[in-house]
Amino acid sequence: MKLKTPYYFIDEEKLLINLNKINYIRECSNAKFVLALKCFSTWSVFDLMSKYMDGTTSSSLYEAMLGREKFGKEVHAYSVAYPREEILELKNFADKIIFNSVSQLNAYYEDVKGLNLGLRANPGISYSHFDLADPSRKYSRLGVTNKKEITNNIDKIKGLMFHFNCENDDVIELEKSFDFIGNQYGDILKRLDWVSFGGGIYFTKQGYNIKKFCKILKDFSQKYAVQIYLEPGESSITDSAELVTTVLDITNNKKNIAVIDASTEAHMLDLLIYCTPAKMKTSKNAKYEYIVAGRSCLAGDVFGTYKFKKPLKVGDNIVISDAAGYTMVKKNWFNGLPMPAIVVKRLNGKIELVRSFEYKDFLNNLS
């Protein structure tokens, strides 16, 4: 199949590597896993993912609706703040509704009492390399910080959510965090049915001590008699997709610059937000260095600087790796650039163009 670049290329065989790790942890620890749709919502691979996960978790009504319609299984609904009309919709299909504050819990309690409700707690600790993504940053609005408020409303809820990690690949630090939460909230947890530890735990990183991770989860669950939920996003789809691009031009401004037919601003926005380079599989011993840049008019639309074995030329493909998380859910029409198609390689080897975009999509996105 001849595919026009740019396109996101999802490989189900690579996706299955992560899903098998998830399944192993589920079996060894009895923890349940719900996919964080804020990171990855490409439902064309949900048939595969749903075989290895317990459901989805959302940050909005639309994500919750997508989880119910396309993934099935458990639907966890969370939002930093709900308008009442969303609560009235969610109560009809969400398995768990999690509130960010006691004030919202009380505002809508009469609408949802009798359902499986939870509160997000802010334990005051976190693991994050970026202040922007730190749930416990100064003046954070994310979660209830006052334990007494939780205790006073414990009869209204059945669980707590602690989302305090971002790319935490340190199982020892994670164990310390679990111990801290147990010491601080153990008396509350023993009165509840479940606890969610959110996402941001990088258990699919190469070399991660999964057996120790399982033990931490199982010990905590047994000690406090709660069902543990995890909400992986990127750890569900690590290294399972690429962004395939083509070099459109080679220029020079003291350094060689390769301009490709994709954009950080439009197609990999997190690179700009967190000032990180794109991941690319290149040779350490290569000698031809290029800045790889996007085609938008934004001056800082740059993927990074890389070395290649051969000089690049117009028409060459450049493949950006680990491109599934926070890309397809954030892609946008900046500059009116063509939106990358979504391509899936199935387990049987068949390659499917599952979604392509045209001018009419750009037109209908506006008014």
Label the pairing between strands 241-252 and 7-11. antiparallel
Q: What is the pLDDT of residue 284?
A: 78
The pTM assigned to this predicted structure is 0.96
* Alpha carbons 299 and 365: distance in angstroms, whole number: 25
Q: How many other CB atoms sit within 10 Å of the CB of residue 161?
A: 24
How high is the pLDDT of residue 285?
A: 85
244 vs 247: CA distance, rounded Å: 10
- The residue with tokens 């990183």 is 205
Task: Give the list of residues 6+ apart from residue 222 with CB closer than 8 angstroms, or none.
Answer: none
pLDDT in 10s for each residue of the chain, 367 residues: 789 999 999 999 999 999 999 999 999 999 999 999 999 999 999 999 999 999 999 999 999 999 999 999 999 999 999 999 999 999 999 999 999 999 999 999 999 999 999 999 999 999 999 999 999 999 999 999 999 999 999 999 999 999 999 999 999 999 999 999 999 999 999 999 999 999 999 999 999 999 999 999 999 999 999 999 999 999 999 999 999 999 999 999 999 999 999 999 999 999 999 999 999 988 778 999 999 999 999 999 999 999 999 999 999 999 999 999 999 999 999 999 999 999 999 999 999 999 999 999 999 999 9
The C-alpha atoms of residue 158 and residue 317 are separated, in whole angstroms, by 52
In terms of C-beta density within 10 A (0-12 exposed, 13-18 middle, 19 or more buried), how is residue 80 classed?
A: middle
- The rounded distance, in Å, linking the Cα atoms of 174 and 188 is 20
Residues in Cβ contact with 136 at an 8 Å cutoff, skipping those fewer than 6 apart: 122, 123, 124, 125, 126, 142, 164
CA distances from 299 to 94, 124, 303 (A): 44, 38, 12
Angle at 99 between CA 98 and CA 101, to 5 degrees: 155
Q: Pick from 123, 170, 327, 177: which is nearest to 245 by CA?
A: 327
C-alpha closest to that of 41 among 56, 27, 61:
56
For residue 318, give both structure tokens.
Answer: 């450049």
Query: CA 213 → CA 173, 183, 207, distances in Å?
Result: 11, 19, 12
CB-based contact 86:64 (threshold 8 Å): no
CATH class of 239-364: mainly beta
- Which regions of 206-287 does DSSP assign to beta strands (E)? 227-230, 241-252, 256-260
Residue 9 and residue 327: Cα distance in Å, rounded? Answer: 12
Dmax of the chain from CA atoms?
Answer: 67
Check: CB of residue 246 under 8 Å from CB of residue 317. yes
Residues of the chain with CATH 2.40.37.10: 239-364
3-state secondary structure (DSSP) of residue 114: coil
The separation between the first and the last C-alpha atoms of the chain, rounded to the nearest angstrom, is: 35
Distances (CA, A) of 318 to 11, 82, 185, 207: 17, 42, 49, 28
8 A C-beta contact, residue 326 and residue 39: yes
Give the whole-angstrom CA distance, residue 333 versus residue 315. Answer: 24
Q: How many angstroms separate the Cα of 225 from the Cα of each of 71, 80, 85, 193?
A: 28, 27, 35, 7
Domain with CATH 3.20.20.10 in the chain: 13-237
- Give the dihedral sign, CA 266/270/276/279: negative
CATH class of 13-237: alpha beta
